[in-house]
Amino acid sequence: MPTVSRRMGGRTARHVLRKTPIPVDERPAKPGQRSGRYQPLTEIEIQQVHHAVLDVLAEIGLANAIPSCIEKVVGAGGKLSSEGRLLFPRG
């Protein structure tokens, strides 16, 4: 990064910094790297999370659901629990 005097005017200094290219070693993706490749979970772990979410929706459900949501979920096989929670179908 070029050295810019700290006494330079605020607006002018920002313009100079924006026009200066980012050095290769400071860029978020280095040349030759593909972005979007970071995968913190394996496919199996993603499936485990998905199934856990479905378990929670089927067993614990959703509280304070709006009437239109209740209508859609019950129409698709869900039900309202005795506590008034909307339980989603497993299917």
> What digits encode the pLDDT tens for the residues 42-59?
999 999 999 999 999 999
Closest CA to 89 of 59, 69, 52: 59
Answer whether residue 75 is part of any domain: yes
Cβ count within 10 A of residue 40: 6
How are beta strands 79-80 and 86-87 bridged, if at all? antiparallel
Domain membership of residue 66 as a residue range: 41-91
83: in domain: yes
The answer as to whether 17 is a domain residue is no
Give 88's Cβ-side CA count (13 Å radius): 15
Flag whether 27 is in a domain: no
Q: How far apart are CA 56 and CA 52, in angstroms?
A: 6
Asked, for residue 13, whether it belongs to a domain, the answer is no
Higher pLDDT among residues 40 and 9, named by residue: 40
- Higher pLDDT: 76 or 8? It is 76
Judged against a pLDDT cut of 90, whether residue 91 lies above it is answered with no
Whether 63 shows a pLDDT value over 90: the answer reads yes
How many domains are contained in the chain? Answer: 1
